[in-house]
Amino acid sequence: MAERFDRIWHNARLATMHRDMPDLGVVEGGLIAARDGRIAFAGARADFPSAADAAERIDCEGRWITPGLIDCHTHLVYGGNRAHEFELRLKGASYEEIARAGGGIVSTVAATRQADVADLISGALPRLDALIGEGVTTIEIKSGYGLDTDTEMRQLKAARDLGRIRPVTVRTSFLGAHALPPEEGDKDRYIDRVCQQMLPAVAEAGLADAVDAFMEGIAFSRAQTARVFAAARAFGLPVKLHADQLSNLGGAALAAEFSALSADHLEHTEEEGVAAMAGAGTVAVLLPGAFYFIRETQKPPVELFRAHRVNMALATDCNPGSSPLTSLLLAMNMGATLFRMTVAECLLGVTREGARALGLLAETGTLEAGKWCDLAIWDIERPAELVYRIGFNPLHSRVWRGQ
Ligand code: DI6
Ligand code: FE
């Protein structure tokens, strides 16, 4: 009897991102078959059982298929915006000066505390839709603009709800240790609250898939971050870290010590931290949107990541202060132009390595049988076009879990 599938995409060129194949794992004359929302076959037409039967057959007319894109680092859910601070920065103020003067993250905290879940969802939806419109099928969303239990939980609920309202996989990260809330004068006392009240409440409500922190002069120290990570471990939650963005406090090494899924930013990371990440299998998440927007000059050590075989992901860091970016295509162009990443590194960075950075590599990020059938289908002649163009979206269609 012929094997039966729900849907078949044929006459396609596949960039499978398969790790055992060179470069992008390209298959010409490719075909993908889906059953029950998962990929049942991805490979050459010639290797597909000719007697197979499908409820629906889609002729891709030679278009390229990549895995659905993954934005593995965003702060998508927040209140207000910070266009006025952008104007101040254009007059010469630095990102750190604005933060120290009571602007920055805490100004978004004030706006987020005013917002209910419905407000947070309606504010985030246009941003989410922009990403989805470019083929994103998985997105990570952090809290961190509440800095009190109720608001952090509202942010995470809004993030979870976005994954029910739109056909997209949402992973949430609790970022209570993002900044010192304005009503609190002491960082250690706030970290006590994060570890003893906020994180337990969030974890018990099942609202977080991971725990993140901002380790930086304007945020939290190595010791304070380590306390947050130990508390996360007690709840069985994996960790990730905003590390070495504005200065090198040894964030990459601390992330590795806690077997973090990822360490993110990393502009100021040195070889010792890179080697520690390699040993721990921690992914380097590079965020060129923030580098560009706050006009950083220190680039992340891409050559060291290559030399030590640290996997690199790319993400938007979509947030109102340092990266109001809702385009992964543009993030790829910036990764190539600003950080000198190759086309393959950029494309792997928003697919396979993005999945790895979220602990989701078994489910998505490559075109392989058994994974969710998350696809992006493109009107392009070659994959490099996805990285090369600036402000152009060649997405033909998008498939999330087979639909
Ligand atoms: N690093 C960043 O780039 C964002 N958060 C963080 O920890 C900035 C967040 C903001 O400015 O609102
Ligand atoms: Fe961030």
> Which pLDDT tens digit goes with each residue over 56-78?
999 999 999 999 999 999 999 99
- Name the residue of 96, 319, 323, 325 to mutate for ligand 1: max ligand atoms within 8 A of Cβ: 319
- Confidence at residue 318, expressed as pLDDT on a 0 to 100 scale: 98
Q: Which atom of ligand 1 is nearest to the CA of 216?
A: 7
Give the model's confidence band at 317: pLDDT under 50 very low, under 70 low, under 90 confident, else very high.
very high
Q: Output the pLDDT for position 3.
A: 87
At residue 216, what are phi and psi to the nearest 5 degrees?
-170, 160
Mean pLDDT of 158-177: 98
Would the CB of 319 count as within 6 Å of ligand 1? yes
Three-state SS at 238: coil
Ligand 1 atom nearest 287 alpha carbon: 3
Q: Using 50, 70 and 90 to split pLDDT, how confident is the model at 142?
A: very high
Interval 338-356 mean pLDDT: 98
Q: How far apart are CA 125 and CA 120, in angstroms?
A: 9
Nearest to 388 by CA among 334, 325, 338: 334
> What are residue 9's DSSP bridge partners?
32, 58
Quote the percentage of the chain above a pLDDT of 70: 100
Question: Residues 98-122: what's their mean pLDDT?
Answer: 92
Q: Would you state the structure tokens that stand for residue 363, as one six-digit string?
A: 């489910």
pLDDT of 52 above 90: no
Please enumerate in sequence order all residues whose Cβ is within 8 A of that of 224, keeping only pairs 6 or more positions apart, or say none. Answer: 177, 187, 188, 191, 215
pLDDT above 90: residue 99: no
Query: To which H or E segment does residue 35 belong?
Result: strand 26-35
pLDDT at 1: 63
Instruction: Give the CA-trace dihedral at 207, 212, 217, 223, to 10 degrees.
Output: 100
**Rounded-to-integer distance, Cα 358 and Cα 368, Å:** 18
Helix (H) and strand (E) counts in the chain: 16, 15
Q: What mean pLDDT, rounded, does the chain reach? A: 96
Q: What percent of the chain has pLDDT over 90?
A: 93
**Is the pLDDT confidence value at 356 over 80?**
yes
Atom of ligand 1 nearest to the CA of 178: 7
Q: What is the reported pTM?
A: 0.97
In which region does residue 278 sit, left (phi positive, over 0), alpha (psi from -120 to 50) or beta (all else)? alpha
Q: Looking at the predicted structure, is the pLDDT value of residue 168 above 70?
A: yes
Q: What is the pLDDT of residue 2?
A: 78
Residue 59: beta bridge partners?
Answer: 10
For residues 395 and 64, the answer to whether their CB atoms sit within 8 Å is no
The two three-digit tokens of residue 306, written as one number: 């290559």
CA distance 160 to 220: 27
Going from the Cα of 34 to the center of ligand 2, the distance in angstroms, rounded, reads 34
Pocket flag, ligand 1, residue 293 (CB < 6 Å) = no
